[in-house]
Structure 1
Amino acid sequence: MDDRAVDAGALVAEVEGHLLIEATLGDGRLAATRFARQFGWLTDGQRAALEERFVEEYVALARDSWRRTALRGAELRGEYEGVYRGLRRRLVLAVALGMAALVSAAGLLVLSLAR
Protein backbone atom coordinates (compact mmCIF):
# COMPACT_ATOMS: atom_id res chain seq x y z
CA MET A 1 0.00 0.00 0.00
CA ASP A 2 1.13 3.55 -0.58
CA ASP A 3 0.98 6.49 1.81
CA ARG A 4 -1.72 8.43 -0.04
CA ALA A 5 -4.78 9.39 1.97
CA VAL A 6 -7.91 7.44 1.18
CA ASP A 7 -11.02 9.46 0.46
CA ALA A 8 -13.66 7.39 2.23
CA GLY A 9 -16.53 9.13 0.44
CA ALA A 10 -15.04 8.43 -2.98
CA LEU A 11 -14.33 4.83 -2.02
CA VAL A 12 -17.90 4.30 -0.80
CA ALA A 13 -19.27 5.91 -3.99
CA GLU A 14 -17.09 3.65 -6.14
CA VAL A 15 -18.20 0.52 -4.28
CA GLU A 16 -21.84 1.61 -4.52
CA GLY A 17 -21.38 2.16 -8.25
CA HIS A 18 -19.98 -1.33 -8.74
CA LEU A 19 -22.79 -2.84 -6.68
CA LEU A 20 -25.40 -0.89 -8.65
CA ILE A 21 -23.96 -2.06 -11.96
CA GLU A 22 -23.82 -5.68 -10.78
CA ALA A 23 -27.42 -5.50 -9.56
CA THR A 24 -28.48 -3.99 -12.88
CA LEU A 25 -26.64 -6.72 -14.79
CA GLY A 26 -28.42 -9.34 -12.70
CA ASP A 27 -31.79 -7.68 -13.32
CA GLY A 28 -31.00 -7.43 -17.03
CA ARG A 29 -30.03 -11.11 -17.23
CA LEU A 30 -33.23 -12.14 -15.48
CA ALA A 31 -35.33 -9.95 -17.79
CA ALA A 32 -33.45 -11.25 -20.83
CA THR A 33 -34.09 -14.85 -19.83
CA ARG A 34 -37.80 -14.17 -19.36
CA PHE A 35 -37.94 -12.31 -22.69
CA ALA A 36 -36.08 -14.97 -24.68
CA ARG A 37 -38.17 -17.77 -23.18
CA GLN A 38 -41.14 -16.71 -25.31
CA PHE A 39 -39.21 -17.51 -28.51
CA GLY A 40 -39.16 -21.29 -28.31
CA TRP A 41 -37.96 -21.72 -31.89
CA LEU A 42 -34.56 -20.11 -31.21
CA THR A 43 -31.51 -22.30 -31.01
CA ASP A 44 -29.43 -22.20 -27.84
CA GLY A 45 -26.85 -20.01 -29.57
CA GLN A 46 -29.46 -17.63 -30.89
CA ARG A 47 -31.13 -17.44 -27.48
CA ALA A 48 -27.77 -16.70 -25.84
CA ALA A 49 -27.03 -13.97 -28.41
CA LEU A 50 -30.48 -12.46 -27.92
CA GLU A 51 -30.08 -12.49 -24.14
CA GLU A 52 -26.62 -10.92 -24.37
CA ARG A 53 -27.92 -8.14 -26.64
CA PHE A 54 -30.90 -7.60 -24.36
CA VAL A 55 -28.63 -7.22 -21.31
CA GLU A 56 -26.42 -4.74 -23.20
CA GLU A 57 -29.45 -2.62 -24.08
CA TYR A 58 -30.87 -2.94 -20.57
CA VAL A 59 -27.64 -1.71 -18.97
CA ALA A 60 -27.25 1.08 -21.56
CA LEU A 61 -30.77 2.31 -20.84
CA ALA A 62 -30.10 2.17 -17.08
CA ARG A 63 -26.87 4.17 -17.49
CA ASP A 64 -28.64 6.79 -19.60
CA SER A 65 -31.33 7.05 -16.95
CA TRP A 66 -28.70 7.43 -14.21
CA ARG A 67 -26.93 10.17 -16.19
CA ARG A 68 -30.18 12.08 -16.76
CA THR A 69 -31.04 11.73 -13.08
CA ALA A 70 -27.60 12.97 -12.03
CA LEU A 71 -27.79 15.95 -14.40
CA ARG A 72 -31.27 16.86 -13.18
CA GLY A 73 -30.09 16.50 -9.59
CA ALA A 74 -27.23 18.90 -10.27
CA GLU A 75 -29.64 21.37 -11.90
CA LEU A 76 -32.01 21.17 -8.94
CA ARG A 77 -29.15 21.54 -6.48
CA GLY A 78 -28.07 24.74 -8.24
CA GLU A 79 -31.61 26.09 -8.24
CA TYR A 80 -32.21 25.28 -4.58
CA GLU A 81 -28.82 26.62 -3.52
CA GLY A 82 -29.68 29.92 -5.22
CA VAL A 83 -33.04 30.07 -3.48
CA TYR A 84 -31.41 29.15 -0.16
CA ARG A 85 -28.81 31.92 -0.52
CA GLY A 86 -31.58 34.44 -1.23
CA LEU A 87 -33.61 33.30 1.76
CA ARG A 88 -30.56 33.35 4.01
CA ARG A 89 -29.71 36.86 2.83
CA ARG A 90 -33.24 38.05 3.57
CA LEU A 91 -33.21 36.39 6.98
CA VAL A 92 -29.89 38.01 7.93
CA LEU A 93 -31.21 41.36 6.75
CA ALA A 94 -34.44 40.92 8.74
CA VAL A 95 -32.51 39.96 11.88
CA ALA A 96 -30.14 42.91 11.43
CA LEU A 97 -33.05 45.31 10.93
CA GLY A 98 -34.84 43.80 13.91
CA MET A 99 -31.75 44.19 16.08
CA ALA A 100 -31.30 47.77 14.89
CA ALA A 101 -34.93 48.51 15.73
CA LEU A 102 -34.52 46.90 19.13
CA VAL A 103 -31.36 48.85 19.86
CA SER A 104 -33.06 52.06 18.68
CA ALA A 105 -36.09 51.39 20.86
CA ALA A 106 -33.86 50.65 23.85
CA GLY A 107 -31.90 53.85 23.20
CA LEU A 108 -35.08 55.90 22.99
CA LEU A 109 -36.32 54.31 26.21
CA VAL A 110 -33.07 55.12 28.00
CA LEU A 111 -33.18 58.70 26.71
CA SER A 112 -36.80 59.15 27.76
CA LEU A 113 -36.07 57.76 31.22
CA ALA A 114 -33.01 59.98 31.59
CA ARG A 115 -35.09 63.19 31.17
Structure 2
Amino acid sequence: MRDQDIPRAGSDIAAEINRIEVYLLTERERSLAREEAEAFAELMPWLLVAQREQVVHHYTRARLEISRHQLRAAAVRAGELRQEYEQRYHILRTRLLRRCTATVLAAFALTAALTATLVLTTCAHGG
Protein backbone atom coordinates (compact mmCIF):
# COMPACT_ATOMS: atom_id res chain seq x y z
CA MET A 1 0.00 0.00 0.00
CA ARG A 2 1.41 3.38 -0.95
CA ASP A 3 1.23 6.45 1.32
CA GLN A 4 -1.19 8.17 -1.04
CA ASP A 5 -3.58 5.20 -0.70
CA ILE A 6 -3.82 5.52 3.08
CA PRO A 7 -6.28 8.49 3.19
CA ARG A 8 -8.48 6.78 0.61
CA ALA A 9 -8.42 3.54 2.59
CA GLY A 10 -9.35 5.50 5.71
CA SER A 11 -12.30 7.13 3.97
CA ASP A 12 -13.38 3.74 2.60
CA ILE A 13 -13.32 2.34 6.13
CA ALA A 14 -15.24 5.34 7.46
CA ALA A 15 -17.84 4.94 4.70
CA GLU A 16 -18.22 1.24 5.49
CA ILE A 17 -18.57 1.95 9.21
CA ASN A 18 -21.19 4.58 8.37
CA ARG A 19 -23.13 2.05 6.25
CA ILE A 20 -23.02 -0.48 9.08
CA GLU A 21 -24.24 2.13 11.57
CA VAL A 22 -27.10 3.12 9.26
CA TYR A 23 -28.04 -0.54 8.81
CA LEU A 24 -28.02 -1.18 12.56
CA LEU A 25 -30.02 1.96 13.30
CA THR A 26 -32.53 1.06 10.59
CA GLU A 27 -32.95 -2.45 11.94
CA ARG A 28 -33.37 -1.10 15.45
CA GLU A 29 -36.03 1.34 14.26
CA ARG A 30 -37.87 -1.48 12.44
CA SER A 31 -37.73 -3.60 15.57
CA LEU A 32 -39.10 -0.77 17.72
CA ALA A 33 -41.86 -0.03 15.22
CA ARG A 34 -42.84 -3.70 15.15
CA GLU A 35 -42.84 -3.88 18.97
CA GLU A 36 -45.05 -0.78 19.15
CA ALA A 37 -47.38 -2.25 16.55
CA GLU A 38 -47.63 -5.53 18.46
CA ALA A 39 -48.38 -3.65 21.70
CA PHE A 40 -51.01 -1.57 19.89
CA ALA A 41 -52.67 -4.67 18.45
CA GLU A 42 -52.71 -6.28 21.91
CA LEU A 43 -55.08 -3.49 22.98
CA MET A 44 -57.66 -4.96 20.58
CA PRO A 45 -58.20 -8.56 21.69
CA TRP A 46 -61.31 -8.92 19.54
CA LEU A 47 -59.30 -8.84 16.30
CA LEU A 48 -59.01 -12.02 14.29
CA VAL A 49 -55.50 -13.24 13.48
CA ALA A 50 -55.60 -11.82 9.92
CA GLN A 51 -56.96 -8.51 11.17
CA ARG A 52 -54.33 -8.33 13.86
CA GLU A 53 -51.60 -8.96 11.29
CA GLN A 54 -53.00 -6.19 9.10
CA VAL A 55 -53.08 -3.75 12.03
CA VAL A 56 -49.48 -4.63 12.92
CA HIS A 57 -48.41 -4.30 9.30
CA HIS A 58 -50.08 -0.91 8.74
CA TYR A 59 -48.99 0.47 12.10
CA THR A 60 -45.39 -0.59 11.47
CA ARG A 61 -45.40 0.92 8.00
CA ALA A 62 -46.91 4.20 9.24
CA ARG A 63 -44.46 4.36 12.14
CA LEU A 64 -41.48 3.79 9.81
CA GLU A 65 -42.75 6.50 7.46
CA ILE A 66 -42.93 8.93 10.37
CA SER A 67 -39.37 7.97 11.34
CA ARG A 68 -38.15 8.51 7.76
CA HIS A 69 -39.81 11.91 7.67
CA GLN A 70 -38.23 12.91 11.00
CA LEU A 71 -34.80 11.71 9.88
CA ARG A 72 -35.06 13.62 6.60
CA ALA A 73 -36.09 16.77 8.46
CA ALA A 74 -33.20 16.32 10.90
CA ALA A 75 -30.76 15.78 8.02
CA VAL A 76 -31.99 18.92 6.26
CA ARG A 77 -31.65 20.92 9.46
CA ALA A 78 -28.18 19.48 10.10
CA GLY A 79 -27.15 20.59 6.60
CA GLU A 80 -28.52 24.07 7.24
CA LEU A 81 -26.70 24.29 10.57
CA ARG A 82 -23.49 23.05 9.00
CA GLN A 83 -23.72 25.75 6.34
CA GLU A 84 -24.44 28.41 8.97
CA TYR A 85 -21.52 27.26 11.12
CA GLU A 86 -19.17 27.13 8.14
CA GLN A 87 -20.13 30.69 7.20
CA ARG A 88 -19.67 31.85 10.79
CA TYR A 89 -16.33 30.03 11.00
CA HIS A 90 -15.16 31.71 7.80
CA ILE A 91 -16.16 35.15 9.13
CA LEU A 92 -14.42 34.56 12.46
CA ARG A 93 -11.32 33.14 10.79
CA THR A 94 -11.10 36.12 8.44
CA ARG A 95 -11.56 38.53 11.35
CA LEU A 96 -8.86 36.77 13.36
CA LEU A 97 -6.47 36.76 10.40
CA ARG A 98 -7.02 40.51 9.91
CA ARG A 99 -6.40 41.21 13.59
CA CYS A 100 -3.24 39.09 13.64
CA THR A 101 -1.99 40.83 10.51
CA ALA A 102 -2.74 44.24 12.02
CA THR A 103 -0.94 43.26 15.23
CA VAL A 104 2.14 42.06 13.34
CA LEU A 105 2.18 45.21 11.21
CA ALA A 106 1.81 47.37 14.32
CA ALA A 107 4.68 45.50 15.96
CA PHE A 108 6.86 46.07 12.87
CA ALA A 109 5.90 49.75 12.79
CA LEU A 110 6.67 50.13 16.50
CA THR A 111 10.00 48.36 16.05
CA ALA A 112 10.85 50.60 13.11
CA ALA A 113 9.87 53.71 15.06
CA LEU A 114 11.91 52.67 18.10
CA THR A 115 14.88 51.81 15.91
CA ALA A 116 14.65 55.17 14.14
CA THR A 117 14.38 56.97 17.47
CA LEU A 118 17.37 55.09 18.84
CA VAL A 119 19.44 55.86 15.74
CA LEU A 120 18.49 59.56 15.80
CA THR A 121 19.18 59.82 19.52
CA THR A 122 22.54 58.12 19.12
CA CYS A 123 23.47 60.37 16.20
CA ALA A 124 22.32 63.50 18.06
CA HIS A 125 24.52 62.73 21.05
CA GLY A 126 27.52 62.25 18.85
CA GLY A 127 27.58 58.65 19.07
> How would you bin the TM-score normalised by the shorter chain?
over 0.9
Question: If the length of structure 1 is used for normalisation, what is the TM-score?
Answer: 0.92
Q: Aligned to 1:40, what secondary structure does the other structure show?
A: coil
Q: Structure 1 stretches (4+) deviating beyond 4 angstroms?
A: none
Shift, 1:40, TM fit: 1.1
SS at match of 2:47: coil
* Aligned-residue identity in percent: 29
1:42 paired residue number = 47
Please list the CA deviations of residues 46-105 of structure 1 after superposition, one character each: whole Å capped at 9, or x if unmatched. 101100111111111111111110111001100110011011000000000010001100
User: Over aligned residues, Cα RMSD in angstroms?
Assistant: 1.1
Deviates more, 1:7-16 or 1:97-106: 7-16
1:30 aligns with 2:38: no
**Which residue of 1 is the match for residue 117 of structure 2?**
112
Among 5, 9, 13, the alignment partner of 1:8 is 13
Question: Could you say which residue in structure 1 is the equivalent of 2:107?
Answer: 102
Secondary structure (helix, strand or coil) at the match of 2:15 reads helix
Give aligned pairs, total: 111
State the distance in 1 between where 2:100 and 2:118 align: 27
* Structure number with larger C-alpha Rg: 2
SS in 1 for 2:59: helix
Alpha-carbon offset, residue 10 of structure 1: 1.4
- Which whole-Å CA distance do the structure 2 matches of 1:57 and 1:8 have between them? 34
Confirm or deny that 1:75 pairs with 2:80.
Answer: yes
Distance 1:60 1:10 in 2: 25
Which SS does the other structure have where 2:46 is aligned?
A: coil
